[in-house]
Amino acid sequence: MKPRIHKSATWLWLLSLVFVLPFVALLWQAVTPESAVWQHLSTTVLPVYLQQSLWLLLGVGVGTLLLGVSTAWLVARYVFPGHRHWQWLLILPMAMPGYIVAYAYTWWLDVAGPLQSTLRAQFGWSFDDYWFPNIRSLGGAVLVLTVVLYPYVYLLSRAAFQQLSKQMWEAHQLAGGQNFFRRMALPLARPAIFGGLALVMMETLADYGTVQFFGINTLTTGIFKTWFGLGSLSGAAQIACLLLGLVLLIMGLEKVWRGAARYDVVNDGLPGTQKTTLRGWRAWLGTLWCGLVVGLGFVAPLVLLLLMAGQSQIKLWWTDFMALIINTFWVASLAALVTVAVALLAQYVKRHTHHRPTQRLVQSLGLGYAIPGLVIAVGVSMAYGWLDQGINGLRAWYADAPAMLFFSGGFIALITAYVIRFLAVAMKPLEAAYQGISHTYDEASLLTGNSHQQTFRRIHWPLLKSSLWTAALLVFVDLLKELPATLVLRPFNFNTLAVKAYELASDERLADAAIPALSIVAVGLLPVLLLNKRINRAHDNHP
């Protein structure tokens, strides 16, 4: 007997068409190329786009591994001044979008910035009298993305290191083992480390604001230049498919790495890995290293943004600032509400159906987070453009009505891209919450004559409220920082804080860009503080 499909699953299958259509449109456009444009791209700029993207991936990957694994091992293995505080301070750079950190460092380190201007004034130098590293370079992009993305590796690595059994450490010592980190801890934490690295690499490929501001020609900037510079939608679709292929390759490699390294950790009921107290210069070296990492990724950019804001000519656009805040908050709130509603439907269906294709559908809906926002935006724009053309064709045939933009010219396209991109962010806390609700509650409710809908209202909903708020908050904050999809799909004359900061920085008005940037960072601290609260709660039970 085949498993029966739950009624709600039908709605989920229909809703999944909205997720599939943009990628169908993208692939269709890519296989019908404009031969002249593609030949020009493939022989001139495409190799540069690919090469720069790969070098960026390599640099950021190595950098985040160094920072993330080293700091994770320090706080998980050693006791040194402030080690409990560094546990959560090291995640603060997650509140800093890469492009905002790029604006801050450029304002300080650029030729016309305060640092070089002071050096020239102090020593009487001219521009050609000294050498100074160029922040607007591939190396600068690697530095910026490394200091804001390493927390992905740090969090997963630290969790893996803390799960190492105390008995494992003692057995290793009794056997006369040396270098516990290299021989035991690192191999056992490898799946978690590679999981964090895969997230870093996908975020690096998805970045547009940082590389565009630094003038780095990557696949993301290539999509914009091909679409809006050359006016070739087919060329942009093909580059987007190439970018999507790289993301899928990274996901596949991450599965291979994790699949080849699965380990069971013995839970002996004792505290995790035996900690060693560092003394003397080693203790302060650990503190200095953690402080340097947090300083580069959060403290220094925050201080620079505050200094920039002090020099801002805010009176020039203060009247528009409240409009920016209102625009940003209402569109992010609406998109977060829709995203959480879809995530709740998906998890509800997953709980009440054993239909294997439906179960796989729920899992696949979370893949959008791995896809760059720019790729999703291109696909949504194409798909909804086709829908508008079809509707306008029917309207012209039946009533000779003028053409209108029903889907591609308003907020529907923007909200759709947001939901596809961030649905996984909402699904994770709801999935965890549903796993904590015993199925015996459902069985008892059904035995008393309640339907599935009544069970949801009376039992699930009260238990899910906290997780729903958490999911909405996480999605809301991610939406505030999203730049590429907003740039492509926003309606005319509609700006958000992220877009305004990008526009001002592109006009070299970096000081003015600090105000919206600080607003984004301030809100971005909310999920970090929530994460910190969970970390503190988890560590309250450990000495």
Closest to 430 measured CA to CA, from 461, 468, 472, 473: 468
Which residues of the chain form CATH 1.10.3720.10? 62-215+254-263+284-310, 312-506
Dihedral sign for Cα 46, 52, 55, 56, please: negative
Report the relative pairing of strands 276-277 and 78-79 from DSSP bridges. Answer: parallel
The pTM (predicted TM-score) of the whole model is: 0.85
Interval 242-288: pLDDT, tens: 888 888 888 787 777 665 554 444 444 444 556 778 888 889 999 99
CA distances from 397 to 384, 394, 403, 406, 445 (A): 20, 5, 11, 17, 54
| Strand, coil or helix: 181 | helix
The CATH code for residues 62-215+254-263+284-310 is 1.10.3720.10
Other beta carbons within 10 angstroms of residue 276's beta carbon come to 11
**φ/ψ bin of 176: left (φ > 0), alpha (ψ from -120 to 50), beta (otherwise):** left
Specify the pLDDT at position 317.
Answer: 58
**Sequential DSSP letters for 148-174:** HHHHHHHHHHHHHHHTS-HHHHHHHHH
| Strand, coil or helix: 90 | coil
The architecture (CATH level 2) of 312-506 comes to Orthogonal Bundle (1.10)
Alpha helices, DSSP H, located in 93-229 = 98-109, 114-123, 138-162, 166-174, 180, 186-206, 209-214, 219-224
Asked if 165 and 267 count as a contact pair (C-beta separation under 8 A), the reply is: yes
Specify the pLDDT at position 418.
Answer: 93
Contacts of 113 (CB under 8 A, 6+ apart): 106, 107
For residue 473, with 0-12 CB atoms within 10 Å meaning exposed, 13-18 middle and 19 or more buried, which class applies?
A: middle
CA distance 150 to 86: 14
Ranges of residues in the chain with a pLDDT under 70 are 1-7, 33-35, 164-185, 257-274, 313-319, 531-543
Between vectors from CA 120 to CA 295 and to CA 304, what angle results, nearest 5°? 25
Specify the pLDDT at position 175.
Answer: 45
CA distance 518 to 268: 46
Specify the pLDDT at position 269.
Answer: 41
**Sequential DSSP letters for 260-325:** T---PPP--SS-SSPPEE--THHHHHHHHHHHHHHIIIIIHHHHHHHHHHHT--GGGTHHHHHHHH
Asked if 213 and 102 count as a contact pair (C-beta separation under 8 A), the reply is: yes
Interval 139-187: pLDDT, tens: 999 999 999 999 989 988 887 787 765 555 555 554 445 566 666 667 7
Residue % of the chain over a pLDDT of 70: 87
Asked if 146 and 64 count as a contact pair (C-beta separation under 8 A), the reply is: yes
Greatest distance between any 2 Cα atoms in the chain = 87
Contacts of 499 (CB under 8 A, 6+ apart): 483, 486, 487, 490
